Structure 1
C-alpha cells in the first residue's frame, strides 16, 4: 500500500454531498486535503504548487462508505450461501467451514475481501471476526488488513469452538489485552483498530459475556454482538451492561422497550438487510429503530451469500422500509396510499446517512469519519454519474438508487489515493482473485466443484 508521506490533494468541481448539516451539498465544490485530513471545503479553493489535482466535474463526491458488520473471512466462500433457507442451513453449510480455515487462509481471505471492498468504495469496515480459532488467526487477519490499507475496526471474535468456549476464554481475553496494548482502539495514524465481537449470549451465557464487556470497557474498545433471539438487549440492560460502546447486530425481534434502552444510552443497531430479509426475518425493526432514535447502520454480513456492495444494501433497505410502511397503512385502512404527516418516514437520503454518518458512529469514529468537513479524516469516494446523465432531484437519491460499484471512480483513504480513474492504484485485482483461489483449494480441496453445485 501507499506510504503516508504528507501531501496535498485538491478535488475540484464535484457535486459534494458533505453529509454535514452545517455545510450541506455543494453543486460545484472543492475539497482540499492536507496530509490525512480535510483542510477546506468550499468553492474556488487554492492549492499550493505541486499539489495533486483531481477533476471532479460531472461526478459526485461522498464520504467513504462504511460497512458496520461483515465477516470478511467468508469472502472466498462467495456463492456458497446463495440458496440458504434460514439459520439451520447456514449452520450446516457455511459456518462449520471456519474450522477448516488456518491462519494463512485468514490472511488470504481478509486480503481478498478488503481489496474488493476498497474497489467498491467501502473505505471502512467493522470486521466481525468470529473465526479467531487460534491466536495466529487474529494475527494474520490484522496483517492482511494492514496490507490492503483499508480502514478496519478488527472486532476480535470471542466465539470459538462451541465445546471449548469456557476453556478457551482465558487465552482469548489475554490476546485481546495484548493486542490492545499493541494497536489500541484509537489515536495515532494506524488504519487498523481493535474492537471486540462478543460471544453470543445464547452460546456463551451472561457471565462470560459480562467478563468480555468489562474487559472491553477497561481497555476502551468498541464492542459488537449478534442479537438474534428475543429479549437479549433487555437482559443486558437489566444487568447494567448496555452502553453506547455496544453495537447490536440484526436485533430483528427487539421490543420497543429495548429500543428505548438503546436510545437512552446513545447506541445504534447494525442491520444486514439483504441477509435478514432473504432469511425471512421480521423487518419492521429498521423503521422502529429509526423513529426511536436508535441510529441504523448497514453491513453486508456474510459474503458467502451477499455481494460486498453497500449500494445494493441501500436500495434494498429503502424498499424494505417503504414496504413496511405501506403494510401499516393498508392495515389501518388508508388505501390507496396518500401522504400525511409523518408518512412516509423513510427517505432516500436516510440510506446514505446509514452508510456514512450513522456507520461512523457505529464503529466509534463519529467525530472523525462519515462527513466531508474540515478537520475530519480524508476518506472520500468520487462516483461517476455515467453516460446517461445525473438524476433529477436529491443527488443522495442518485447515490442510493442509481449508483453501483462500477461507478466508483476514485477512492481516497486517509488522504491517500487508492483508486483512480476506475483502477486500483497499489492493489491488484488479480492478487485478490489468486488469494481466493488458494483458500478454496486448501479449505474445499477437490470439493470446490461439489460445493459450487450444492450452492
Structure 2
C-alpha cells in the first residue's frame, strides 16, 4: 500500500531536511519512501490532499498510566502525593483484568484521536498475570504504537513474594514477542519498582532481567539521592528512562548525560503534586534528552499539545525569574537568553521521545526509511499563525486541529473521524469499567 501526502507544510524534525513550506511525502509498506516538493504520483498511490495543513511526526508520550484513563476527573482536586495515593493509587487492587482491558482500550483510542501515535504505558497495576495479558489484548486492538512497560510494583504487602511470578511472566512475554522488530505496534518493556518501595535488591534483579532480555526500562525517580544510589550499584545505562527526577542534583544529571539517559517530564503532574519544575531546563542544559508525558489521566487531559505549551511557559518563567533575580529588568535579549524555544518542545515529543522508547533511528522524524507515523494538523479556523510553524504547533494548536493520523502507513483518522476503531466503543469501555468499579 502506498500513500502520497501532497502540499503540506512539512516539519520533518530531521536536521538534514528541515521544514518544507510546500512539501510531499510518499509512504510505501509502512515506511517513508520519499520527502520533497512535487513528488511524482506513482500508480497505486492513494492521494491525500494536505494543502493548508501541517504534516509532522506522530506525537510520542513517554510516561502515562493508561489504566487511569476512565478515572478522568477523579483526581482533579488532589493536593500532593498523599491525596493521589488515597484517591487514585488505592484503587489498583479493586481493578479486575477486564477493567484493565477496557481502560487500556479507551485510553489508547482517545490518545490516538488526539494525535498521540506512540505511548509508553507505564502499567504499574499488574496485580495478576491476567491484568497484563488483557492490557496487551487491548493495545493490539487500538492500532496505537505502544511500549508496554510491565509494572513490577504490586501490592506492598506481597511485593517480594509476587516478584517471582512477575519476572516469570515478563520472560514469557519476551519470548512470545521476540523478533517483532521496530515496526511492531506493541513492544515489551519494564516499569521497574520504585526504589523507595522495592528496595535495591529487587530493583537490581529487575534491571538484570531487563538487560538479559534486551528490554527498555523506566522508573519513577521521586526521592532525593536515588540516582547516585543507582549509579553506585553500577546500574545506570541508556536503557533506563527515569521519570520526574525533580530532586536530582546537577551532579546526578551529569551522570545521566554521561550514560546517555533521557528523562521523562510530566509538567501538569509535577505542578499538581507541588514538585519543583526546574529539573527539565537543568536536564536540557546538562545534555540529558528531555521528553514529555501525560502521566495521570485521572486528573490531566490526554493531550500532548497542552503538555508542550505548559512546559514552554514554565521554562520561560524560570528564565525570566533568573533574570529578575540578577537585576536584569526589564528583560533584554543577549546571547543564549532566552534559551528555550518552541521548537525544542516539539523535539521533546518527537525525536527525543523516539530515543526514550528505543526507536531513535526509525521514529520521530519524517525522513526516508523512517516508520510512517504521521500527523496532519489543520492550521485553525482563523488561518495559521505567522512565523515558525513549530511555534504554531506548540503554542496555537489543539487536539481539535488533528485532521489525519497515520500509524505504520495505515490511516487511523481521516478528516477528523477515526477509521479503524469507533469512539463509541471507547466510551462504552469507560462506562463498563466505571460501573464495575463504583457500582
TM-score by length of 1: 0.96
Deviation for aligned residue 1:13: 0.2
Q: Which one of 354, 361, 368 corresponds to residue 355 of structure 2?
A: 361
CA displacement 1:218-243 (0-9 Å, x = unmatched): 10000000000111111111111000
> 1:261 corresponds to which residue?
255
How far residue 390 of structure 1 moved from its aligned partner, in angstroms, is 0.8
Evaluate the alpha carbon distance shift between residue 321 and residue 400 of structure 1 in structure 2; reply closer, same or farther with a 3 A threshold. Answer: same
Q: 1:98 to 1:185 in 2, by over 3 A?
A: farther
Is residue 95 of structure 2 the alignment partner of residue 105 of structure 1?
no
- Contact 2:267/2:311, CA 8 A, preserved across alignment: yes
User: Which residue in 1 is equivalent to 2:146?
Assistant: 152
What is the distance in 2 between the residues matched to 1:348 and 1:48? 36
Deviates more, 1:196-205 or 1:340-349: 340-349
Q: Distance in 2 between matches of 1:443 and 1:278?
A: 25
In 2 relative to 1, CA 183–53 (structure 1 residues): closer, same or farther, beyond 3 Å? same
Q: Which one of the candidate residues 203, 218, 223 is aligned to 2:217? A: 223
Which digits, 9 at most, give the CA deviation of each residue in 1:70-124, with x for residues without a partner?
Answer: 0000001000000110000000011111111110010000000000000000000
Q: Deviations over 1:7-62 (max 9, x none)?
A: 00000000000000000000000000001100000011123222111001000000
RMSD: 0.9
- Asked if 2 retains the 8 angstrom alpha-carbon contact of 1:185 and 1:220, the reply is no
Secondary structure in 1 aligned to 2:369?
coil
Match of 1:327, SS?
helix
SS at match of 2:178: coil
TM-score with structure 2 setting the length? 0.99
Cα distance in 2 for partners of 1:326, 1:281 equals: 19
Alignment pair present for 1:25 and 2:14: no
CA distance in structure 2 between the aligned counterparts of 1:185 and 1:261, rounded to whole angstroms? 32
Change (3 A) 1:362 1:185: farther
User: 2: distance between equivalents of 1:316 and 1:423?
Assistant: 27
Tell me which residue corresponds to 2:341.
347
For the 8 Å contact 2:31–2:368, the answer to whether it is kept is: yes
1:181 has 2:175 as partner = yes
Structure 1 residue 333, shift from structure 2 partner = 1.3
Aligned to 1:80: 74
Q: How far has the Cα of 1:188 moved from its partner?
A: 6.3
1:139 to 133, 138, 154: 133
Residue 283 (structure 2) pairs with residue 300 (structure 1): no
The 2-side partners of 1:339 and 1:268 are apart by: 29
Deviation by residue 1:372-410 (Cα, 9 ceiling, x = unmatched): 000000000000002211111110000001100100000
Structure 1 residue runs of 4 or more that deviate by more than 3 Å after TM superposition: none
1:241 and 2:235 are equivalent in the alignment: yes
1:314 corresponds to which residue?
A: 308
Cα distance in 1 for residues equivalent to 2:362 and 2:157: 41
* 1:287 equivalent in alignment to 2:290: no
- The 8 Å contact of residues 117 and 308 in structure 1, kept in 2 or not, is answered as yes
2:48 aligns with 54
Secondary structure of the residue aligned to 1:208 is helix
1-structure distance, mates of 2:325, 2:42: 62
Contact 2:182 2:362 in 1 (8 A): no
The answer as to 2:264 corresponding to 1:270 is yes
Alpha carbons 2:183, 2:371 under 8 Å: kept: no
CA distance in 2, matches of 1:368, 1:165: 37
After TM superposition, give the deviation of residue 184 of structure 1 in Å: 3.5
In the alignment, structure 1 segments of 5+ residues that lack a partner are 1-6, 446-455
User: Structure 2: 5+ residue runs without aligned partners?
Assistant: none
**Matched residue count:** 439
2:404 equivalent to 1:418: no
Q: Matched residues in 2 for 1:332 and 1:239: separation?
A: 40
1:330 aligns to what?
324
Equivalent residue, structure 2, for 1:171: 165
